[in-house]
Amino acid sequence: MNPSKIFKNVGILTALSISCTVLSANAGDAYFTASISKEGKVLSQSSEWIDSVKYSSQKDWFATYEINVKPDTYQQAPAFCSASTTASGGEDDLLHGVAKLGAAPKQDRITVITSHIGKKGPSGDTSQNFMLICFK
């Protein structure tokens, strides 16, 4: 085997390994996740990025969660956020429950609403546990 090819390949592999390590280290700050209870309590978060959650519910309509982000988490509004229900409180939640953004994400807050889509009759309390992910 040619020693110069070995050194060349080792050099390339070393550069790739360092690049992957650097990208992996930066990937941790590229997005943030959180699990929020139906009462608006932060159950878990990928890092300490949420300052507070303001919760309100309008019976038979929807529940609103205003997630206030700690200062300096984002230099500008998140590029993308998504929410999804995580726990079912019964058949209505399972079949009709949704969590979605209530407005475009802002630098200092993300608004999520939960509701029952397509349910006949009064919806009652539409508050639901959900997960949230936001990308820088």
Could you read off the pLDDT of 51-75 as tens digits, one per residue? 999 999 999 899 999 999 999 899 9
Q: Enumerate residues 6+ apart whose C-beta is below 8 A from 112.
A: 36, 64, 65, 67, 83, 99, 100, 101, 102, 130, 132
Percent of the chain topping pLDDT 90: 60
Domain 30-135 is in which class?
mainly beta
Residue with tokens 């006949």, as numbered in its chain: 120
Q: Is the dihedral of CA 91, 95, 99, 103 positive or negative?
A: negative
pLDDT digits (tens, 9 = 90+) for 24-52: 334 457 899 999 999 999 999 999 999 99
pLDDT for 28 equals 56
Max mean pLDDT among 7-16, 72-81, 86-95, 119-128 falls in 72-81
C-alpha to C-alpha distance for 24 and 30, rounded to whole angstroms: 10
Parallel, antiparallel, or unpaired for β 80-85 and 130-135?
A: antiparallel
Domain boundaries, the chain: 30-135
pTM of the entire predicted model: 0.77
DSSP string, 2-42: -HHHHHHHHHHHHHHHHHHHHHHHHHTTTEEEEEE-TTS-E
11 — pLDDT class (breaks 50, 70, 90): very low
- Amino acid 55: pLDDT: 98
Give how far the C-alpha of residue 113 lies from the chain's centroid of Cα atoms, to the nearest Å. Answer: 13
